[in-house]
Amino acid sequence: MIKSKESISANLFSDSLNDALNDALLNKDLTAFWNTWRSKMGKNKVSPIIDGQCDEKNIADRFATVFSSACVPNSETRHAELFEKFKSRFTAYDQWRI
């Protein structure tokens, strides 16, 4: 019986939230949508922890470090070859475009 009542309660909450959100979306009222969402779901903001960092600046710096290391050529020789190939193709494209 407890499980049954719990399930009914969850369904009622879900149905009322769904109805309110659908009404707001159908009326294209985003303010009402988000107000309803926040009133039903709460306003708890979870602090992100990325790679052990929780300060936004430290997280951004960590992302910059990781992604900049992914942009380093594996081989200077191959990088130079590909760059020359790019320049020749770009020059041909640029001349065609004019």
The pLDDT of residue 77 is: 93
The pLDDT of residue 83 is: 92
Q: What predicted TM-score, i.e. pTM, was given to this entire model? A: 0.34
The answer to whether the CB of 32 falls within 8 A of the CB of 22 is: no
The pLDDT of residue 86 is: 92
As a whole number of angstroms, the distance between CA 23 and CA 33 comes to 8
The pLDDT of residue 4 is: 67
SS3 47: coil
Return the structure tokens found at 74: 């594996």
The pLDDT of residue 9 is: 55
The pLDDT of residue 54 is: 86
| Helix pair angle (2-26, 30-41), 10° resolution | 160
Domain residue limits, the chain: 1-41
As a whole number of angstroms, the distance between CA 37 and CA 43 comes to 9
Return the structure tokens found at 6: 């719990």
The answer to whether the CB of 17 falls within 8 A of the CB of 40 is: yes
> What DSSP state is assigned to residue 45?
P
> Going residue by residue through the chain (98 aa), what tens digit of pLDDT does each one get?
676 656 655 554 456 656 766 676 667 777 877 787 777 777 666 678 888 888 889 999 998 988 888 878 888 899 999 999 999 888 877 666 65
